[in-house]
Amino acid sequence: MNAQIMDVTLRDGSYAVNFQFSEHDTKKIGSVLEQSGVSFVEIGHGQGLNASNYKNGIALCTDEEYLASAQEAYQTCKYGMFCIPGIARLEDLNLLKKYGASFVRIGCNIDQVDDTEPFVKRAKELGLIVAANYMKSYTATEQEFELCVKKSMSYGVDYVYIVDSAGYMLPEDIKKYYDVVKRVDGPKVGFHGHNNLGLAVSNSLYAAELGFDLIDTSLQGLGRSAGNTSTELFVSLLYVKYGIKDYDIKSIVKFSENYVKPLVRNTGVYGLDIFCGIAGFHSSYMKYIHRVAAKYEVNPYELIVEYCKIDKINMDENLLVEIAKKLPKEDINLSQYGFDRFIGDEQKMK
């Protein structure tokens, strides 16, 4: 088993702190991860390059400040940023080269791979390692997924990522898409799992056992919605099951508990996260659920499930309203559901 860790605490984990990681946090967290054996560290706004604004959430620092902090503090690990075409501009990739970053991960919905072509090609021109992150991978058939992989290969990617955006996937789903990549003799493979149904760690371990090359993790499991695979749990399992001693578990656990855990206010299991996992609903659309559930006085759990029976990829507000009109009204207090935890609107760019 040769899987390496891509720690995303400083990127996906930024959702959990309202994108308020500081330059000091970037230096400190990344340096400890590096010293503890982690090879890849992703930094910046949760939604990637050029994402800091009122629509997606304003980060404490600029992309340039985050990159400069990493360049100053990191010695051996590879660091980079996320990039969503339509939020990021092609010229934003130049910052990665300017500040010594090694990689960029280009995210798109699984049905929008065509949009990534100019970004992949520009990143390769800059000498960056490039990963194609297929958000909502689980919505594609095997044939559709194979076509996406072949397109990304033709653009020149180094990795393709199977992304469980809603914490919806089971182990057999992971294997299905992994087998597609191997069948077409595709690039290296990464896995990004969310924890809505409590499977992020076990799914990540399974992916590593299958032969995945990169596994995304984060300290305290921080990330959008229910969070990601916990770095400290994942490295502990690697040691317990396989005797892998590549990581300083004691340092990771101690630092995570003493430094990262106090940064986070919202902890525990939330029903909205669970129902995102049950239905395959991307949590960046949650404000539409909140608004429509409040207007039509319907249960948001039911609204999520019924909507995803029709569409797990995009948000059609007119369709959402039509579904809400058919649901029974309930006397509910929506303030108890924790809608304020969900930040950003990066999935709805039209």
Average pLDDT in the chain: 95
Residues 141 and 282 in one domain: no
How confident is the model over 130-144, as a mean pLDDT? 98
Per the CB < 8 A criterion, the answer to whether 20 and 61 are in contact is: no
Task: Please check whether residue 348 lies inside any domain of the structure.
Answer: no
- Confidence check: pLDDT of 316 > 90: yes
Task: Please check whether residue 349 lies inside any domain of the structure.
Answer: no
Using 50, 70 and 90 to split pLDDT, how confident is the model at 264?
confident
- Confidence check: pLDDT of 350 > 80: no
Using 50, 70 and 90 to split pLDDT, how confident is the model at 266?
low
Using CA atoms, how far apart are residues 160 and 46, in angstroms rounded to an integer? 19
Using CA atoms, how far apart are residues 217 and 12, in angstroms rounded to an integer? 10
Q: What pLDDT does 346 receive? A: 61
| Each residue's pLDDT tens digit, 64-85 | 999 999 999 999 999 999 999 9
Task: Please check whether residue 347 lies inside any domain of the structure.
Answer: no
Identify the domain boundary among 263, 294, 323. 263
Higher pLDDT, 176 or 345: 176
| Each residue's pLDDT tens digit, 44-69 | 999 999 999 988 899 999 999 999 99
- Domain residues for the domain of 330 are 271-341
Domain count, the chain: 2
Using CA atoms, how far apart are residues 106 and 195, in angstroms rounded to an integer? 22
Residues 123 and 251 in one domain: yes
Per the CB < 8 A criterion, the answer to whether 337 and 299 are in contact is: no
Task: Please check whether residue 350 lies inside any domain of the structure.
Answer: no
Nearest to 5 by CA among 329, 232, 341, 175: 232
Residues 167 and 59 in one domain: yes
Identify the domain boundary among 235, 263, 291. 263
Helix then strand count (H, E) for the chain reads: 13, 8
Residues 57 and 175 in one domain: yes
List Cα–Cα distances, 73 to 7, 28, 219, in angstroms. 16, 8, 19
Using 50, 70 and 90 to split pLDDT, how confident is the model at 347?
low
- Confidence check: pLDDT of 344 > 80: no
Using CA atoms, how far apart are residues 134 and 138, in angstroms rounded to an integer? 9
Per the CB < 8 A criterion, the answer to whether 334 and 341 are in contact is: no
**pTM beyond cutoff 0.85:** yes
Share of the chain above pLDDT 70, in %: 97
Residues 292 and 256 in one domain: no
Identify the domain boundary among 263, 282, 310. 263
DSSP character for 10?
T
DSSP 41-79: EE-S-TT-TT--BTTTB--SS-HHHHHHHHHHH-SSSEE
Per the CB < 8 A criterion, the answer to whether 11 and 42 are in contact is: yes
Least confident of 175-179, 310-314, 344-348: 344-348
Q: What pLDDT does 1 receive? A: 79
64 CB burial (10 A radius; 0-12, 13-18, 19+): exposed
